[in-house]
Amino acid sequence: MKLEEIHEQWAEDCSLPVALLEKSISAVPIMHSKYLRYMSTEKLTLKKLEEDRKVLVKLKYDYFQGMLPEEDLKEQGWEPFRQKILKSDIGMHIDADPDIIKMNLKIAAQQEKVDVLEQIIKHIGNRGFLIRPIVTGK
């Protein structure tokens, strides 16, 4: 699911027409369930990306050390790394690597989705508390 899709769905779901406040209260659990499902899926995707990043960092470490087997180089589509760099400089090379940067951006985008969904779920949780006094007059 894309972040834009989450925003679009929430834009539809977040409205609270005054004439339908009682109906809105009964919709709270349904919306909560919907966005909780989204969030659990997106959190699992985030976890997968984070684990994939760990594997990629290890591959890049071996690559920059010149220790990556030929078969792994071919599998990744990388040319052998011929430079000699100090172990203390490997972190800098890994951080600046385009594949790592691309993975970091994917993780950041995924984290943003999770954060947005967490905020939506918080709002949904508070919604009942906001609507009940209006409907009951208390």
Question: What value does the mean pLDDT take over residues 70-84?
Answer: 93
- pLDDT tens digit sequence for 85-100: 999 999 999 999 999 9
Q: How many CA atoms lie within 13 A of 75 on its CB side?
A: 8
CA–CA separation, 114 vs 70, rounded Å? 38
Q: What's the pLDDT score for residue 136?
A: 67
Q: Are 4 and 114 in contact (CB under 8 A)?
A: no
Spatial separation of the C-alpha atoms in residues 58 and 38, rounded to whole Å:
31
Measuring CA to CA, how many Å separate 50 from each of 1, 32, 128, 137?
18, 26, 35, 48
Residue type at 50 in one-letter notation: E
| pLDDT of amino acid 43 | 98
On average, the pLDDT of the chain sits at 90
